[in-house]
């Protein structure tokens, strides 16, 4: 089979490698059909690392994946050959305290696609544990199913802070994760506002039910606090931009919650006395936990059309072009590779 390997920054090689085989009776063999390009893939492509995770040897990128079951292990009961599936990309140890507490996203030994040295899914086939593979309904395409992964981030954020119907939410930064966090908050019953500079993404946010979106090309970031009708209950900061991260404290009400979702700046200036005096709760989130079934159900039952978020498709032999497309087309939302 073919796989697209990152060999060094800005260098992708298509290599012929051995097709994987089922060795564990609980595993399934999947023909990969669609893989979303994530910001982390682009970051690895450009930098060869994200924080402490360094690409030291050729690595297959890609983790937002869907495909078709080609073969199942003898103990697999929930899936069969020909099933169309979404693939949760992390495999936890299932034994540590975090896993046993149901917080397997924090498992220190999780094996996660496209996180060095674990290969990802810009390839034709993978073998994966069946309990992290989910059948998708007929009204969801394989391309759309790749968006279950970033959509899960938004659902996890809503779950983490126990978002209640009627609460007011600002989503700062409306890239793919931000738009899907906005959509998650809307489905959970939130009254949602957005902050973004891309006209196309602002339009998507409005289509997803945003009450209003502040355009930072027209409005100074520091002025947003004066333009809000009232301070909000929750802020989802998805941009990772320090200027927005530092302003979150000015948008949230006393006793409100701030969730930092976007990865960008490592250190920011934050008014800690405000955090203390106003009992503001600050959270980070790491990926997601127990969200895939819920995400599939929410998309299917609400008849959400995610196709509009897909900006461009590329075949496997053009992974390099796929990784470069978002940078050359900043209004794009989601790029898909179709092995």
Interval 277-297 mean pLDDT? 96
- CA–CA distances in Å: residue 274 to residues 60, 228, 284, 303: 44, 19, 18, 41
Partner residues linked to 136 by β-bridges:
none
Q: Rounded distance, CA 165 to CA 258, Å?
A: 17
- Beta carbons within 10 angstroms of residue 8's beta carbon: 11
Q: Over the chain, what is the mean pLDDT?
A: 96
The pLDDT value given to residue 82:
98
Q: What is 135-201 written as a DSSP string?
A: E--TTS-HHHHTTHHHHHHHHHHHHHTT--TT-EEEEE--SHHHHHHHHHHHHTT-EEEEEES-HHH
Phi and psi (nearest 5°) for 170?
-105, 130
**206-226 pLDDT, tens digit each:** 999 999 999 999 999 999 999
Q: pTM of the entire structure?
A: 0.94
3-state secondary structure at position 232: strand
Domains and CATH numbers, the chain: 2-147+306-338 (3.90.180.10), 151-284 (3.40.50.720)
| pLDDT surpassing 90 at residue 263 | no
| pLDDT surpassing 90 at residue 303 | no
**18-29 pLDDT, tens digit each:** 999 999 999 999
Q: How sure is the predictor about 194, in pLDDT bands with cuts at 50, 70 and 90?
A: very high
Q: Rounded distance, CA 22 to CA 173, Å?
A: 41
Q: Which residues contact 265 (CB under 8 A, 6 or more apart)?
A: 240, 241, 242, 245
């Amino acid at each position: 089979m073919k796989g697209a390997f990152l060999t060094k920054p800005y260098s992708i090689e298509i290599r012929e490698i051995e097709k994987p085989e089922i060795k564990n009776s609980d595993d399934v063999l999947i023909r990969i059909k669609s893989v979303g390009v994530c910001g982390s893939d682009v970051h690895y492509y450009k930098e060869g690392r994200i924080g402490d995770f360094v690409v030291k040897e050729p690595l297959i990128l890609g983790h937002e994946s869907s495909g078709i079951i080609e073969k199942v292990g003898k103990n697999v009961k929930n899936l069969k050959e020909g099933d169309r599936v979404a693939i949760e990309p992390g495999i936890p140890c299932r034994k540590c305290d975090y896993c046993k507490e149901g917080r397997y996203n924090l498992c220190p030994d999780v094996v996660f696609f496209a996180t060095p040295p674990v290969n990802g899914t810009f390839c034709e086939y993978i073998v994966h544990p069946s309990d992290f593979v989910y059948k998708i309904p007929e009204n969801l395409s394989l391309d759309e199913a790749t968006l279950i992964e970033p959509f899960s981030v938004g659902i996890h954020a809503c779950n983490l802070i126990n978002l209640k119907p009627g609460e007011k939410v600002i989503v700062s930064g409306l890239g793919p994760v931000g738009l899907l966090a906005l959509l998650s908050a809307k489905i959970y019953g939130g009254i949602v506002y957005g902050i973004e500079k891309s006209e196309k993404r602002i339009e998507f946010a409005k289509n997803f039910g945003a009450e209003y979106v502040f355009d930072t090309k027209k409005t100074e970031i520091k002025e947003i606090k004066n333009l809000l009708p009232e301070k909000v209950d929750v802020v989802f900061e998805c941009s990772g931009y320090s200027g927005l991260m530092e302003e979150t404290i000015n948008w949230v009400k006393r006793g409100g919650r701030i969730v930092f979702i976007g990865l960008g700046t490592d250190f920011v200036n934050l008014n800690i006395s405000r955090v203390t005096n106003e009992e503001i709760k600050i959270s980070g989130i790491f990926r997601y936990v127990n969200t895939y079934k819920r995400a599939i159900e929410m998309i299917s039952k609400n008849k959400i059309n995610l196709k509009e978020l897909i900006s461009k498709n590329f075949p496997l032999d053009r992974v390099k072009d796929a990784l470069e497309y978002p940078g050359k087309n900043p209004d794009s939302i989601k790029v898909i590779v179709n092995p």
